[in-house]
Amino acid sequence: QKEVEQDPGPLSVPEGAIVSLNCTYSNSAFQYFMWYRQYSRKGPELLMYTYSSGNKEDGRFTAQVDKSSKYISLFIRDSQPSDSATYLCAIWNFNKFYFGSGTKLNVKP
């Protein structure tokens, strides 16, 4: 079983929609959860991180961790065409990072 699993999409939504991106993970001991955004042919950039469980909000982005179900989510409100990118979830555990395969999002004007 992989440490983190992510639906590859692609996901296509109209501008202004609420987007929900999700990952599941295998080890209940994981504590640090991150979301990265990767534009085409660029390196990933760190969007948000969450420690343990709960929600974290940054502008239009909300990261959520549900440790009971080992589920992590990223919500994007009022999505914009500039949000079109691949989103990767990631987990950090003792100098090792585990990445999901990424979900490709397309926000149509």
What's phi and psi for 81, nearest 5 deg? Answer: -55, -30
Check binding of 21 to another protein (CB under 8 A): no
Check binding of 68 to another protein (CB under 8 A): no
User: The tokens of 20 are what?
Assistant: 């929900």
Selected from 32, 60, 67, 106, the binder of another protein by CB under 8 A is 32
Of the candidates 52, 56, 61, the one whose C-alpha atom is nearest the C-alpha of residue 91 is: 52
Check binding of 97 to another protein (CB under 8 A): yes
Q: How far is the CB of 73 from another protein (least distance, A)?
A: 18
Check binding of 40 to another protein (CB under 8 A): no
DSSP state of 30: -
Residue closer to another protein by CB (options 90, 107) is: 90
Q: Please name every residue paired with 81 in a beta bridge, in sequence order, or none if there are none.
A: none
- Scan residues 41-60 and list those touching another protein (CB under 8 A): 41-46, 49, 51
Of the candidates 21, 42, 17, the one whose C-alpha atom is nearest the C-alpha of residue 33 is: 21
Using omega within 30 degrees of 0 as the cis cutoff, is the peptide bond preceding 10 cis?
Answer: yes
Query: Which residues of this protein are in contact with another protein, per CB under 8 A?
Result: 6, 8, 32, 34, 36, 41-46, 49, 51, 88, 90, 92, 95-97, 99-102
